[in-house]
Amino acid sequence: MTENTLRQPVEIQFKTELDALLGHDETLKLLKPDHWLLSPQAVVLYLIGGKTHDGTLISAKYIGQRRLIETAVATLATDRALLLLGVPGTAKSWVSEHIAAAVSGNSQQLIQCKRSLK
């Protein structure tokens, strides 16, 4: 981390939680889609928060409807693109970063664009 870094990527900040979720998947023998780090169930648990099988506390990243996250994760698990649509500041980028970290272990492959209002 350099002096210009605002914050660590979430896969580093939440490494303890992601490691606990890996163990959770192993214990419960949950299946993962090809090339996924975690099972879809563990990705939802990472986003919504709760406890792993061994009792590790997982903090809530997204405060809102569980169904929305389940739908997003199911869309990706079935190999489709996911479009998050909503008014500014409703956690679209935030959720994307966390989903990328939980699915691939890397949230840093990011293209960010904004539509000009001019």
Which region among 5-13, 14-22, 45-53, 57-65 touches ligand ATP (by CB under 6 A)?
A: 57-65
**Which of positions 78-117 make contact with ligand ATP (CB under 6 A)?**
86, 88-94
Around 62, how many Cα atoms within 13 Å sit in the side-chain half-sphere? Answer: 25
- Which position has the token pair 């949950």? 30
Rank residues 27 and 93 by Cβ distance to Mg ion and give the closer one. Answer: 93
Burial class (CB in 10 A: 0-12, 13-18, 19+), 117: exposed
Burial class (CB in 10 A: 0-12, 13-18, 19+), 92: middle
91 binds, among ligand ATP, Mg ion, none (CB under 5 to 8 A by kind): ligand ATP
**Which of positions 1-30 make contact with Mg ion (CB under 5 A)?**
none
Question: Would you count residue 30 as binding ligand ATP (CB under 6 A)?
Answer: no
Positions in the binding site for ligand ATP (CB under 6 A): 62-64, 86, 88-94
